[in-house]
Amino acid sequence: MSAGCGVTTTLIKQGEKQTKVTLDVTGAENHCTILTIAPSPVQRGVVWVGTDDGRVQLTRDGGRSWRSVEDRIPGLPRNTWCPEIKASRFAPLGAFAVFDGHRRADWTPYAYRTDDGGETWTPIATKELDGYCLSIEQDPVRAELLFLGTEFGLWFSIDAGASWQRWKHGVPTSSVMGLLVHPRDGDLVVATHGRSLFVLDDITPLRTLTPAMLQEKLHVFPAQPAAEWIIRQTPAERFPGQGVFRGETRTRGVFVYAIVNAEELAHPDDKVERERKSRKPKPAKDEAAKDETAKPAEAKDKKDKKKEEPKDQVTVEVRDSAGAGAATGIGAGGAAGGATLNA
């Protein structure tokens, strides 16, 4: 006989006939695992805890007393795993919680927020989300900027979860199980299951992004300070071949982020660009031929030459505070003068 977690279990040797079904010696079926612990960075003594049987508990006195608040969460099936809770970076009794029910064939995304210590909860999982939720993170500078990890990728919101957009640049379709915004550098660290670790450099443009900006023809975000650096020979093997793995180095220079909605620029997404071109009205063949023959040869040559010039290119001139020391950055595939444009 063996005892574990207060449950007596009979150990059956190989070949013996088992006549009684007993609980596992570890008591795992009792759901005894705390999956997430989130102390508040704002209020001392406030700690949130989530478990593998859907319990959400809160202490306001540093652990001397606890209170369950999961029954106050609307629309959440009982005993749904709580893989992560994040205490709010701004509200003393605020928190964000995500729940995962896929072990019971429930792939519904469950994500909630509370601002009053769990008395009331607001669902923030919208129809845009795909896959059950696994992780969540609040930006330390902009309270409304949230990041959410699901089984199928990374999402972000600039309106506190009222709507979500999928992040498609640099993060593949994968199970995003951990998120963290670096408090100093403003980088987003993304931990996935099976697809490695990703660092999204400089998410600061999202801190000022608004829907109105997306409608502007050109908007340039403030650039962040950058350090000059050079590459030196590694003290390890000089010609390592495949013996040493190194991740891709961050692009050298200052990042300049811009929103460009000029009609003459091609959309970076090929599918969107094809749809955009298909919606453009096409001129009648007779009128197009008439206009073409009416143009002088010189104008036609000028037009042909203009066609050869790249249109998906933006040039940015960078000067210091005194207006001197110009440098030029060429976006959409090129860089010069130490300035890099991401358009």
Instruction: Give mean pLDDT, residues 49-77.
Output: 96
- Statement: residue 57 has pLDDT above 60: yes
53-88: string of b/e by CB count within 10 Å (b at 16+)? bbbbbbbbeeeeeeeebbeebeebeeebbbbbbbbb
On the question of pLDDT at 194 being above 60, the answer is yes
d(Cα 294, Cα 279) in Å, to the nearest integer?
27
pTM of the complete model: 0.73
How does pLDDT run across 203-223, given as a tens digit for each residue? 999 999 999 998 888 898 988
d(CA 159, CA 164): 8
Q: Pick 315 or 22 by higher pLDDT.
A: 315
CA distance 64 to 165: 40
Q: How far apart are CA 160 and CA 147, in angstroms?
A: 10
Residue 62 has pLDDT above 90, yes or no: yes
**Across the chain, what does the average pLDDT equal?**
81
Task: For residue 27, name the pLDDT band (cuts at 50, 70, 90).
Answer: low
Q: Are strands 315-318 and 197-200 parallel, antiparallel or unpaired?
A: unpaired
User: Do residues 181 and 140 make contact, with C-beta atoms less than 8 angstroms apart?
Assistant: yes
- Whether 99 contacts 110, CB under 8 Å: yes
Q: Which CATH number fits domain 22-203: 3.20.20.70, 2.130.10.10, 3.80.30.20, 3.30.750.24?
A: 2.130.10.10
Domain range annotation of the chain: 22-203, 219-342
Q: What is the pLDDT of residues 242-280, one digit of tens each?
A: 666 666 767 777 888 888 887 777 777 788 888 888 887
Kindly state the average pLDDT of the residues 127-151: 97
